[in-house]
Structure 1
Amino acid sequence: MDGSGDGEPPSGHQGRGGARTGPGGAAARGARLRAALLQGPPGPARARFWRSPLRGPWLTSVFGVVLLAGIAVVFTTGLLSYAAYNPDLAAVNDTTPDKGLLGFYLFDWPTSPYWLYRLTQGLHVTLGVVLVPVLLAKLWSVIPKLFTWPPVRSAAHALERISLLLLVGGAVFQFATGLLNVQLTYLFPGSFYPLHFYGAWVFISALVVHVALRMRVVVAALGRRRAGRAGEPPAAAHPSPGGSGTGLEATRPAPPTLSRRGALGLVGLGSLTLFAVTAGQSIGGPLRVTALLAPRGRGPGPGPNGFQVNKTTAAVGISASDIGPDWRLTVRGDGGERVFSRPELLEMAQFSAALPIACVEGWSTTDQQWSGIRLADLAALVDAAADDGRAPGVMVESVQQEGAFRAAALRANQVRDPRSLLALRVNGADLSADHGFPARVIVPANPGVHNTKWVERLTFGGLT
């Protein structure tokens, strides 16, 4: 007997069809399965999928620092823009009524300097547009991290992953809604204002967490560069598996076609190009004609009324009869109510003020010479006075019946400013219909939509 007849084959022998059997074969299969699970599914979850030799902590850190500085300015100017709407003044001003604690910082928006809103909103929009290439480059530099396998390794790693997803999603959402608003295009359901406002807080919260978790890595990466360990950060021809441990470097890099400084220069050129075709809408002057991406920011037309218009009479449904000879202005206050025709308003003392119009989309006009009646004088006609005996706030209502911003509330400090007018003329001529004829409000440092056009009623006092 050779012992090869009855009984099971020895452990590790091959059975029928060459299949490996026994404890050794099962262990091997289990080991291969565990290895496959750790390595991740084929595609972007595997490190070998990403082959660019440019990716690494240094380049990502540079993009991150630029974004961090720029976003700090964009976020701050965005908060200022929100404050300029005076959302805690009256319901008609508050586009985010459920803001709660997020409105902790709100303050009385000033009227001086008169170009304040033009500066802050122009900076907010222009810098936001200029940062788009930097944002895209930063997302490209860290995209392997989005496919990290396994998705979660620990509680700390889970927190970092959640903050990363909120950060990336929040950044894309904020920049997308902002750019669409500049183009007067609204693809998302709901109003732009609450979407952009709440989205900003989600994004900035995720950014704070991300910075806290990654700042040490950024400082270390930039510190190695300053220490001279790389004159120009190399294209990492043969990095070791895992690189610096950040998961950004390619484990099997392709031949470089661009240096990292070249990549920085390319991103910088993209930002400079966007600046050139955007900034003119708020800066004005010769650059205004280069504002190719600004629907309302390019060259004005001829004549005294030849400057930018946001809403036209046709767009908001105002007919010729609404603003014709039968139009009347009603002024209300503690002392009762008075009604004026336009000729009667023109007979009153007229004052002038050189003020721009600046809108949330980032575009603005140069200073226009407005003339009309001071709001404080109109308040005095109906004996409207606050507790201190000075002019109170006012609710301004338009002939416009439909659409947003048909009314706006102005604070007492805005009414009292001698440059705040019920304007009847501009640049020496009667207002055109699209610029608010028969009468419109113009207030220094005020968002354009709150400089109400086609005014039919002023109610002084009673604001909360």
Structure 2
Amino acid sequence: MLREGPPTGPSRPGFWRSPLRGPWLTSVFGAVLLVGIPVLFVTGLLSYAAYNPDLAGNDQTPDKGWLGFCLFAWPTDPYWLYRLNQGVHVTLGIVLIPVLLAKLWSVIPRLFAWPPVSSVSQALERLSLLLLVGGVLFEFATGVLNIQLDYIFPGSFYVLHFYGAWVFIGAFVVHIAFRVPLVIRTLRSGALRNELRMPGRTNAAPGDETGLVSPNQTPPTISRRGALGMVGAGSLVLLAVTAGQSIGGSLRSTALLAPHGQEPGPGPNGFQINKTAAGVGIRARDIGPGWRLVVRGGGRERIFTREQVLALPQHGAALPIACVEGWSTDDQEWSGVRLADLAALVGFADRVPGVFVESAQRGGAFRSAMLRDNQVRDVRSLLALRVNGADLSPDHGYPARVIVPANPGVHNTKWVTRLTFGESA
């Protein structure tokens, strides 16, 4: 059957007829992704490290093995570190979508190359291409869906995204090893300058050995310069309607693609939330007069009413909330009891350990979180009772919530009922 040539359909040389396809256009898109993808990968690993997945109670990723080399004690300085990292990760990922789709469009004839396998080298390249395309579509699709629809996946988004990223980056490295010499030769040829200077329509790309150029091309209806401009404009539009969610301030209103859109309105508690009290099953009696804070550690236990917690030494910290979905708030003025002071109440005055934080929420993810000792020691790490001069609203975690510098929003646990120092879940 192989001797008879490719079957009817996309494997036929004349099936893909666009005159724009060729090594030049593909190389330009590839060069952009060659810069953007590594930045996405590194910021993604840093985001995963900030999530503290090697702490008991936080980790849902089995058998990380040597893939866990990227994990380290996430710092609390600078306090905006996670906000910056996650803002770059999410915004860049959204901005690169038009480039990614254009790159896939430009190389689609290669996905149907015939014969499917002609040598060991080609078999490895084809396998890497399959993993590359499948991996990149999986990573971008799950990332966008998580941003817009919250936790919709069977299992943990972090686990899926973590392993998917390693599969994709492995295929990406193999693909680069095969293709980067061609990209360099093409971009060094001066064709970029010539194409950008050429107005209106352009001539069809000359034949090449890559299999991207159709032998049966249709008349061009747009120049390659126009194609680049269209893709670039798409990326700029996505930047304009995304970046404001991380930058904040007056640009917040421009973030049309900001996830969830839960803006509580004006007032001291008028900044974005991810999950509401009602949405996670908080009942009036859970946060009413009967609420108690249990502080444990070192064989001791203390129980406090909210009034008793308010009677403890109060401190302030100006910190944002930054979430994995890429949105963040401006700095908010929090006040409450330092976590280190609460640790001292159960015997940890000299050696401050990590703390296991538990919430009254009944449904949804992240009902508890583990914080490292360096996070507990930071003087800005609070069990917050008030924000911007007012009591926390129920949706912002009343009666008490955790706020820690540079901490992912999901680990700034709301509706806190128990703090266990020196022990895990």
Give the match for residue 11 of structure 2: 45
Give the match for residue 325 of structure 2: 361
Counterparts in 2 of 1:396 and 1:323: CA distance versus 1, 3 Å: same
Q: Distance in 2 between matches of 1:70 and 1:297?
A: 27
2:204 aligned with 1:237, yes or no? yes
C-alpha displacement of 1:390:
2.5
Give the match for residue 407 of structure 1: 368
CA contact (8 A) 2:82 2:408 kept: yes
Code of the aligned partner of 1:449: V
Q: Distance in 2 between matches of 1:378 and 1:228?
A: 64
Q: SS in structure 2 opposite 1:93?
A: coil
Counterparts in 2 of 1:51 and 1:445: CA distance versus 1, 3 Å: same
2:55 aligned with 1:89, yes or no? yes
Aligned with residue 451 of structure 1, among 407, 412, 423: 412
Superposed CA offset, 1:357-387 (max 9, x none): 01111111110000000000111111125xx
CA contact (8 A) 1:331 1:337 kept: yes
CA contact (8 A) 2:320 2:331 kept: yes
CA contact (8 A) 2:262 2:273 kept: no
Q: Structure 2: 5+ residue runs without aligned partners?
A: none
Superposed, 1:176-187 pairs within 5 Å as 176-185=141-150
C-alpha displacement of 1:95:
2.4
CA contact (8 A) 1:281 1:297 kept: no
Q: Distance in 2 between matches of 1:42 and 1:332?
A: 71
Give the match for residue 462 of structure 1: 423
CA contact (8 A) 1:280 1:297 kept: no
Aligned with residue 248 of structure 1, among 204, 209, 212: 212
Code of the aligned partner of 2:253: V
Give the match for residue 148 of structure 1: 113
Q: Distance in 2 between matches of 1:314 and 1:231?
A: 55
CA contact (8 A) 1:292 1:298 kept: no
Larger Rg: 1
Give the match for residue 154 of structure 2: 189
Q: Distance in 2 between matches of 1:463 and 1:289?
A: 40
C-alpha displacement of 1:287:
1.6
C-alpha displacement of 1:220:
1.1
Superposed, 1:33-432 pairs within 5 Å as 37-38=4-5, 40-90=6-56, 92-185=57-150, 188-225=153-190, 232=197, 235-237=202-204, 239=206, 243-296=207-260, 301-334=265-298, 336-384=300-348, 389-432=350-393
C-alpha displacement of 1:98:
2.5
Counterparts in 2 of 1:78 and 1:231: CA distance versus 1, 3 Å: closer
Q: Structure 1: 5+ residue runs without aligned partners?
A: 1-32
CA contact (8 A) 2:259 2:325 kept: no
Q: Distance in 1 between matches of 2:370 and 2:321?
A: 17
CA contact (8 A) 1:335 1:384 kept: no
Code of the aligned partner of 2:188: G
Counterparts in 2 of 1:253 and 1:396: CA distance versus 1, 3 Å: same
Q: SS in structure 1 opposite 2:149?
A: coil
CA contact (8 A) 1:423 1:439 kept: yes
C-alpha displacement of 1:190:
2.7
CA contact (8 A) 2:86 2:323 kept: yes
Counterparts in 2 of 1:440 and 1:377: CA distance versus 1, 3 Å: same
CA contact (8 A) 1:291 1:297 kept: no
Q: SS in structure 1 opposite 2:47?
A: helix
CA contact (8 A) 1:291 1:298 kept: no
Q: Distance in 2 between matches of 1:309 and 1:186?
A: 15
Q: TM-score, normalised by structure 1?
A: 0.88
Q: Distance in 2 between matches of 1:226 and 1:143?
A: 22
CA contact (8 A) 1:130 1:271 kept: yes
Q: TM-score, normalised by structure 2?
A: 0.95
Q: Distance in 1 between matches of 2:256 and 2:109?
A: 35
C-alpha displacement of 1:236:
4.0
CA contact (8 A) 1:297 1:364 kept: no
* TM-align CA RMSD: 1.9
Q: Distance in 2 between matches of 1:297 and 1:149?
A: 48
Q: Distance in 1 between matches of 2:46 and 2:172?
A: 20
Q: SS in structure 2 opposite 1:50?
A: coil
Superposed CA offset, 1:125-157 (max 9, x none): 010000000000000000000010111110000
Q: Distance in 2 between matches of 1:134 and 1:65?
A: 10
C-alpha displacement of 1:189:
3.0
